Chain A
Amino acid sequence: MRYSGFRVIAEALTGHKGWKPVWRDPDPQPEYDYIIIGGGGHGLATAYYLAKEFGQARIAVLEKGYLGGGNVGRNTTIIRSNYLLDGNEPFYEFSLKLWEGLEQDFNYNAMVSQRGIINLIHTDAQRDAATRRGNAMILNGADAELLSREQVRALYPWLNFDNARFPIKGAILQRRGGTVRHDAVAWGYARGADMRGVDLIQNCEVTGMRIENGRILGVETSRGYIGAKKVGVAVAGSSSKVMAHAGMRLPIESHVLQAFVSEGLKPLIDGVMTFGAGHFYVSQSDKGGLVFGGDIDGYNSYAQRGNLPVIEDVAEGGMALMPAIGRVRLLRTWGGIMDMSMDGSPIIDRTGIEGLYFNGGWCYGGFKATPASGWCFAHLLAKDESHITARAYRFDRFLKGLMIDEKGQGATPNLH
């Protein structure tokens, strides 16, 4: 069923009796050409683009729980392409361009809102770094503007500009950045994939991989054995657990990242804002809640909840930046599990096992990458070669010294 304004009016006049389930609930077939493990944003996008852009068929997505029940439903919905390094920026700009056409492409309202993202600057050194990053973005076809203190003040006059330790000196603005309704991204890709014949199989946990002579033959699941010519793993957060079935150890640690939403407020912030002196970022949802977050908790965790010290730290960052929120009550906090990689950048690559492909290591930047991640992973699966924007996301970059370390922290996953 194609969605349109006309369709909504027609259904309104006929008692909404014509709407149908958005996707099927099929039983697994004995064998597929492609199995994608992980029914989150990246896995569903991979299946969608495999079917739509690369003309492949006999595709299944295996999901342990329900579609979109993991990190795609737990993030803070921000999209942007404001990276510095050559390995990253073309990829994230490709992703942002896909976001811009996404709703028309998959005929689903994902509420893509290019409301702009500003990164605040508090020191001269930060201004130099922001200028350099902005130039790198522009060289790669993205947009960036350096704002003066007065230009920031015109946007958000109520920020704490004269904080004694962290005065606001300016900002770098990417107008094309913004937010997207995160669940709708999963639903839109799921619906688009299902319409093109992809089997979306829920409540189907992968419990093993059948590998013979260095080649994958299929996967053992809680719903029986399923054969496959190629298997793509897109389960960021649980990558080490799933790849252990293939005997692989990864350059990844799993960490918990918390996110927060306040009670609903009148319109306060029309874009996305990041504090440059502490780790705090914030936007306002269409329902009025401030959606914000900060650092990961910093220790290995598979619990989808964090601890109080980080909540305190994030609240302190928020108060330093916006004293006006002092009486605002916190409504909810939650946590998601991140694949923190050894250089803070992702991996989209083959493995040493023929037919087994890996997509993960997204740290806490996976949501914005969803369309390009799906596209590039589908490209790799279908053509057996990396997409031009994802060539740097290799497993062997640590061995060869080709790390993509935006923060320059080295092999310390909890500091990226």
Chain B
Amino acid sequence: MIIHHPILGPRDAQEFVYLGDASLIDRPDGMTAGVEAFHDYAYNRDNPAGEHRELWYHEQGDRSWLVVTRNTVTHEISRVELARDVARSRGRSK
């Protein structure tokens, strides 16, 4: 698979480490969210067959975190964003 890095251009997926569903960006507040909410965040996944937004870390590159939109049935990648931009657009400070 080739991941089109927003800054570095096309890079081999082998340079990256995979983390999982991009919803991991939306971590609940550990002080206010209940145990159930945190359990749901940490352990449960949508795991869709089809389009999936997921976190990839460019470990052997610029060490940026990316949000890659990829089809889990065809492995086709349709969109790549910097995770920082995605997090900020969801109201996170960084």
Contact = CB atoms under 8 A, between A and B. Distances in A.
Contact of B49 (A241, A250, A251, A412): A241
A300 B54 contact: yes
A301 B75 contact: yes
Nearest to A306: B75
Contacts of A412: 19-20
A412 B49 CA distance: 19
Given A309-B14, A414-B18, A252 B47 contact: yes
A250 B13 contact: no
A163 interface: no
Given A253-B47, A411-B43, A301 B20 contact: no
A251 B45 contact: yes
Nearest to A302: B49
B39 A399 contact: yes
A4 interface: no
B45 A252 contact: yes
B32 interface: no
Contacts of B48: 240
Contact of B47 (A299, A300, A309): A300
Nearest to A249: B44
Contacts, number: 67
Determine chain A's interface SS by DSSP, over half rule: mixed
A307 B75 contact: yes
A398 interface: yes
Nearest to B46: A249
A254 interface: yes
Taking each of B14, B47, B74, which has the highest tally of chain A beta carbons within 10 Å of its own beta carbon?
B47
A87 interface: no
A298 interface: yes
Taking each of A252, A298, A299, A302, which has the highest tally of chain B beta carbons within 10 Å of its own beta carbon?
A299
Contacts of B36: 399
B6 to A, nearest CB: 19
A253 B18 contact: no
A138 interface: no
Nearest to B47: A240
A122 to B, nearest CB: 24
Interface string B7-48: 000000110001111000000000000011001101111111
Contacts of B14: 309
A38 interface: no
Contact of B35 (A253, A299, A399): A399
B45 A398 contact: no
A51 interface: no
Interface in A162-195: none
Interface of A: 238, 240-241, 249-254, 298-303, 307, 309, 342, 398-399, 411-414
5 contacts: A253-B45, A299-B54, A303-B74, A399-B36, A412-B20
